[in-house]
Amino acid sequence: MINLLLVMAGGAIGSALRYGVSVALPTASTSFPAATILVNIIGSFILGFIIGTVGTPLELHPQMRLLLGSGLCGGFTTYSAFAVESAMLLEHREPLVMGTYVVSTIVGCGLAALAGIALSRSIAHSQ
């Protein structure tokens, strides 16, 4: 039961943070969705960092990984917004913006996750 509560608490915090970013960076349906790509890249980096600590001296307690990984990152990042924004850009005949958004999201999130993993392992090995 505690694990479920941890995921729920992290998700609530992540969702509130996600909402704050969307308020700070509002996006028209025909322009580049900066808020969504920003939260997805940041969330990918954080989750990569968390996962990168597994098996190292920095390894987080499994319940902390649930709170921060499944909960916070799960509530903060958003695949559904990415999918809908991509579809809306295509519907509004903005294929170049949509293509740029899709490619930059996939590449950016992948690189951010790798950077998070590399950073956590670098810190762990320096201790």
Q: How far is CA 52 from CA 36, 59, 70, 90, 92, in A?
A: 24, 8, 15, 36, 40
**pTM of this prediction?**
0.90
Confidence of residue 40 (pLDDT cuts 50, 70, 90): very high
What is the rounded average pLDDT of the residues 19-29?
91
Q: How many residues does the chain have?
A: 127
pLDDT tens per residue, range 63-72: 999 999 999 9
- Please give the average per-residue pLDDT across 14-34, as a whole number: 92
- Name the least confident of 29-33, 48-52, 76-80: 29-33
CB count, 10 Å around CB of 40? Answer: 24
pLDDT at 43 over 80: yes
